[in-house]
Amino acid sequence: MCGRYVQISRVEVVEKRFGVHVPQPELFPHNPNVSASERAPVIASDRPGEVQLFQFGLVPHWAQKPMCLLNARAEGDHNPENTPDYQGAKGILQKPSFRKAIRSQRCLVLADAFIEGPEDRKLSEPYLVYLRKQERPFAFAGIWDEWQNPTTGELVRSFAIITAAANSVTQRIRHHRSPVILPRDAERDWLSLDTDLQDITELLTPYPGDRLNAYPISPAIKNPRTKDVKTLLPIGERLFSEEAYQTKDDLRLEGMRPA
C-alpha cells in the first residue's frame, strides 16, 4: 500500500509544473508526512485547471458511515499473490468502491516522494522513495468521490491512491505493492473523461524501478503527527548508487527541501 507520502513543494512550483492555479495559496499545505484523513492537494477531473484540497482516504458516495480507503488495487481481487509481472485484468473496474470513480472521478495526487517499509516491519523500518534526477513534484494516479455525512450533512471530498504490484525498488524494500506514478505526458489524459477506458487501465502498471531510488529514514515518521522535514534525512545508504551524489544538510539533492 501507500499510506504515507511527502508534499512540500511551494505553490508557485506546483502551479508551473502542472499548469494549474492554486485559488487559496495561504491554505496550501506543506506536509512532510501526509497521513490518513488529512487534507492534501489534488487536481481533480471536475476542475482540471486548479488545485483542490481533498481528504486522504476515500469515502465512497454510498457509504452509510465514514470510511478511509487509502489505496485502490489496480487488479482489484485479482493477483492475490501480488505477482510483480502480473498482466491480467484490472479488477478495479468491478470493485463497488471504485468502479464509478475510475470511470468518471479521477485525480492527480501531488507528491514529492512516498514513504514505505517492509511488509513485516512497516514504518518501524521506513524508507523514503523518490524519483531520480530530482523529478518532483510528480503525480500519483488517484480517484476521488464525494460523500455526504447522513448525520451532519457535511460534504466530504476524498481520494485514494491507486496501487499496482511491486517494482524493483519496493521489492528491495520487501514491500509487495507500489503506488501508480503517472508519466508526465499521461497526466492530462488521466484527468480527461474523453480518454478511452482501455487507455486508462493501461496506465495502471508499476512505475519503472530504475527511475526510482530510496534510503532509510527515522522511524519517527511512523507517528502521523511528525511533521519535521528533517525526519526525511537519510540515516543509512541509498538502495542503489547514483553518480554525483553528495549529502546535503538542507536536503537539496534528496529533493525534500521545499522547492
Residue type, 110: L
What average pLDDT does range 229-248 have in this prediction? 80
pLDDT of residue 254: 44
Average pLDDT, the chain: 93
Q: Which amino acid is at 77?
A: D
| Per-residue pLDDT, 250 | 35
User: How far is CA 185 from each of CA 90, 115, 174, 190, 223, rounded to the nearest angstrom?
Assistant: 22, 24, 30, 10, 35
Check which CATH number belongs to the domain holding 105 and give it. Answer: 3.90.1680.10
Contact 34, 6 (CB under 8 A): yes
Tell me how far apart the alpha carbons of residues 58 and 161 are, in angstroms, rounded to a whole number: 9
DSSP symbols for 193-219: TTS-HHHHHHT-SPPPGGGEEEEE--G
What is the rounded distance in angstroms from the CA atom of residue 169 to the CA atom of residue 59? Answer: 30
Indicate whether 107 belongs to any domain. Answer: yes
* Per-residue confidence (pLDDT) for residue 2, from 0 to 100: 86
Note whether residue 243 is domain-resident. Answer: no
Q: Which cell numbers hold the place of 130?
A: 523518490
**Residues 16-62 pLDDT 10s:** 999 999 999 999 999 999 999 999 999 999 999 999 999 999 999 99
pLDDT of residue 130: 98
Check residue 257 and give its pLDDT: 54
pLDDT, tens digit, for every residue of 51-92?
999 999 999 999 999 999 999 999 999 999 999 999 999 999
Q: Which of 253, 24, 231 is nearest to 128 (CA)?
A: 231
The answer as to whether 148 is a domain residue is yes
**159, 158, 160, 178: which is closest to 168 by C-alpha?**
178
pLDDT of residue 252: 41
Residue 208, domain member (yes or no)? yes
190 occurs within a structural domain: yes
Structural domain includes residue 253: no
What DSSP designation does 231 have?
A: G
Asked if residue 250 is part of any domain, the answer here is: no
pLDDT of residue 247: 37
Q: Is the pLDDT of residue 258 over 60?
A: no
In a domain? residue 102: yes
Q: Which of 48, 86, 14, 66 is nearest to 192 (CA)?
A: 48
Domain count, the chain: 1
Give the domain range for residue 54: 4-232
Q: CA angle at residue 233 from 230 to 239, to 5 degrees?
A: 160
Cβ neighbours around 223 below 10 Å, total: 12
Query: What's the pTM?
Result: 0.93
